[in-house]
Structure 1
Amino acid sequence: MQRFLMRAAHFTNLIGQTALWLAGLGVVFMTIIIFLQVFVRYVLNSSLPWTEPGAVMVMGWFIFLGAAVGVREGYHLAFDVVLYFIPERLKLVFFSISDLVVMAFAGGMVWYGIQLAVKTAGNKLPSLGVSGAFDFAPLVVGGALIILFSLERLLRRAAGLPTARFGTDDDPNGGPGAMRPVEAQ
């Protein structure tokens, strides 16, 4: 099982790195959109109607992609104070409970995101000319990635492999997320 999980970690690492790059590009793209709107409004004394909803849509993408990467790397919200006072074995139980709660929340994101997308698919965003379902696509994709990354963390922990931040996250290639088996350390 450890070998399979290590091979799967390369795949999820690639997904995580891609999501992180897309989130970073989204921040840059949103900044360009906002700059363009400010320039057109205050320098050219005009307005571009698509910039505000476009920037909000891009912001949804980088928020949810970044949140998914944060879950994979172990940087999601946690109550770490208790972890300083409990035995090492019990910490693993708490981490697993945390991952299950995060996974359940992400399941809700996917479930309700799909419902919202279906209900708004017939609406057209006037300034962008796209379906209203596109507003909820980041919620669904981000939730699916959070489920994938939480499941990876649970399976790694069950197989005795470290998980990012809560074990060793050393990568022989120098990047975060490609975690080694405990025996290789």
Structure 2
Amino acid sequence: MEQFKKVLDSLFAWILKVAMVMLTAMVVIVFLNVVLRYGFHSGVHWAEEISLVIVIWFTFISMALGVKENLHINITVLPRKLPEKFFIILDVIKDALEILIGAILILFGWKLTLNGARSFLPATHIPNSINYVVLPIVGIFIILYAVLYLLEDLKRYKKGGVQS
């Protein structure tokens, strides 16, 4: 399983590099468009469209990163005096919900991608599916990382709540 996690991490590292390049490109495109619009009273007609596509991709890649790094928001309402197994059960429930969310992203993201292929973005004439194809990709990563966490939590539960 450790080998699988290394492969998954290296694949996701590549996606993060793509996201960084896309974010840098978006900053350059928006900056250029602002300079052209306010400095020269012209602009790049496709800049807003491409920036929106990049923001959509970056948002969903960040969502998968949140699952990978376990960065979800936690609210600790219950006192920590409760048994460790109780909190492990909550972690298992969280992992199961993340798997469900990943499955929803894959299923409905694929449907949106297929439907989006029928229409085109107005300025660039790129198929609208470019906005949605990131959903199944991210859904796969979310499920894989959530399953890894689920297996770790179940192993901790079997050991009686002791951290491994």
State the Cα distance separating 1:83 from its structure 2 match.
6.7
Instruction: Tell me how far apart the structure 2 counterparts of residues 103 and 138 of structure 1 sit (CA, whole Å).
Output: 17
| 2:116/2:127 contact within 8 Å kept | yes
Q: Give 1:158's match in structure 2, choosing from 150, 154, 157.
A: 154
Q: CA RMSD in A?
A: 2.1
The corresponding residue for 1:78 is: 74
Q: CA deviation at 1:140?
A: 2.0
Q: Which residue of 2 aligns with 1:96?
A: 92
The answer to whether the 8 Å contact 1:114/1:136 transfers is yes
Calculate the TM-score normalised by the size of structure 2: 0.86
Confirm or deny that 1:51 pairs with 2:47. Answer: yes
List alignment gaps of at least 5 residues for structure 2: 157-161
Alignment match, 1:63: 59
For the 8 Å contact 1:19–1:69, the answer to whether it is kept is: no
Q: Number of residue pairs matched?
A: 160
Would you identify which runs of 4 or more consecutive aligned residues in structure 1 move more than 4 Å?
none
Residues 140-167 of structure 1 deviation map (CA, whole Å, 9 limit, x = unaligned):
211221111111211233344xxxxxx9
> What residue is the counterpart of 1:173 in the other structure?
none
Distance 1:32 1:98, change over 3 A: same
* 1:20 corresponds to: 16
Residues 36 and 42, structure 2, Cα contact 8 Å, conserved in 1: yes
Percent same amino acid at aligned positions?
A: 23
Residue 130 of structure 2 aligns to which amino acid in structure 1? F
**8 Å contact from structure 2 (residues 120, 127) kept in 1:** yes
CA distance in 2, matches of 1:121, 1:82: 47
Q: Partner residue of 2:159?
A: none
Matched, 1:29 2:28: no
> What is the distance in 2 between the residues matched to 1:85 and 1:79?
16
Between 150-159 and 97-106, the greater mean CA deviation after superposition: 150-159
Match of 1:134 in 2: 130
Following TM superposition, by how much is the alpha carbon of 1:54 offset from its aligned partner in structure 2, in angstroms?
0.3
Matching residue of 1:120 = 116
Residue identity matched to 2:123: S
Does the residue aligned with 2:64 lie in a helix, a strand or coil? helix
- Equivalent position SS for 2:78: helix
Q: List per-residue Cα deviations over 1:84-119 (Å, max 9, x = no partner).
A: 343222211111100111211121122111111111
Which residue of structure 2 aligns with residue 172 of structure 1? Answer: none
| Greater alpha carbon shift after TM alignment, 23-32 vs 33-42 | 23-32
Bigger helix fraction: 2
- Contact 1:23–1:63 under 8 Å retained in 2: no
After TM superposition, the structure 1 stretch with the greater mean CA deviation from structure 2, 123-132 or 79-88, is: 79-88
